[in-house]
Amino acid sequence: MLIEKKYHTEAAREMDEIIREEEERKASLSEEERTAEKEEKYAEAEEIIRKVQEAERQNFHIISKEKIKRFSYLAMDALRMAEALLLDVTVRTDGTIGRIRLSTDFFVLNEMCPEKARQIFVDMIKSADDFGIYAKDDLVVIEYIFRLTMTIPK
C-alpha cells in the first residue's frame, strides 16, 4: 500500500501562482496607484506597530527564576542526550531567551536509542515555547527556544 499526499509541494505551487499574479497586478498599476498602495501599507504597518507598543506598555516582563531553573535542567539534559546520540549541541541565552540547538547529518529516534534520550527529546519539545526542525549546511538542525520571562499586567 502507498499513500502519498504532497501538501507542501501543492502549497508551494499555489504560493508561486499567487506571487506571479501579484507581480502581474503590480505591473499593471500606474505610478500613482503604486504610490498610494505603498502609503496605505505603510500606514497599516504603523498602526500595527502602535497597537503592539500600546499592548507592551500594559505589561511588565520580568525574568522568571522558575523558567531559568527549568531551562538549566533541560540544557544539562540536552548535553547528555547530545553526547549519547553523537549530536552537535549549542546552548545559549540571549538576555531573556534561552536556545538549545542540536545538529547532525542524520537524526533518528528509535527503539535502539536510549529511553532517557527519547524522554529528554519529548520533554524539550513540551517545554519549549518554540520548536523547529530545518536543514542548514547539509545538516538537520533541531532548535528549541525558551522565553525566560513572565508577563505581569501593570
| Residue 138: pLDDT over 90 | yes
| Same domain (yes/no): 92, 134 | yes
CATH of the domain at 88: 3.30.980
Task: Give the model's pLDDT for residue 66.
Answer: 95
Q: What is the pLDDT of residues 48-76, one digit of tens each?
A: 999 989 888 888 888 999 999 999 999 99
Q: Report residue 105 CA to chain centroid gap.
A: 20
Domain end point (choices 21, 40, 57): 57
One domain for residues 70 and 129:
yes
What is the amino acid identity at position 71?
F
What pLDDT digit, counting tens, does each position of 69-97 carry?
Answer: 999 999 999 999 999 899 999 999 998 99
Pull the grid cell for residue 62.
Answer: 520580568
Instruction: Tell me: do 75 and 35 sit in the same domain.
Output: no
**Residue 2 falls within a domain, yes or no?**
no
Domain assignment of residue 26, yes or no: yes
Check whether residue 17 and residue 45 sit in a common domain: yes
Are 139 and 76 part of one and the same domain?
yes
Do both 73 and 47 map to the same domain?
no
Whole-angstrom distance, CA of residue 22 vs CA of residue 36: 16
pTM: 0.75
CB 91 within 8 A of CB 75: yes
Q: Residues 100, 141: one domain?
A: yes
| Residue 90, in any domain of the structure | yes
Q: Are residues 136 and 68 in the same domain?
A: yes
Res 39 pLDDT > 90: yes
Q: Is the pLDDT of residue 113 over 90?
A: no
Same domain, 101 and 48: no
DSSP the chain: ------HHHHHHHHHHHHHHHHHHHHHHS-HHHHHHHHHHHHHHHHHHHHHHHHHHHTEEEEE-HHHHHHHHHHHHHHHHHHHHHT-EEEEEEETTEEEEEEEES-----TTS-HHHHHHHHHHHHH-SEEEEEEETTEEEEEEEEE-EEEEE-
Together in a domain, 81 and 139: yes
Is the same domain home to 90 and 133?
Answer: yes
Q: State which amino acid sits at residue 67.
A: K
Q: How many domains does the chain have?
A: 2
> What range defines the domain where residue 34 resides?
8-57
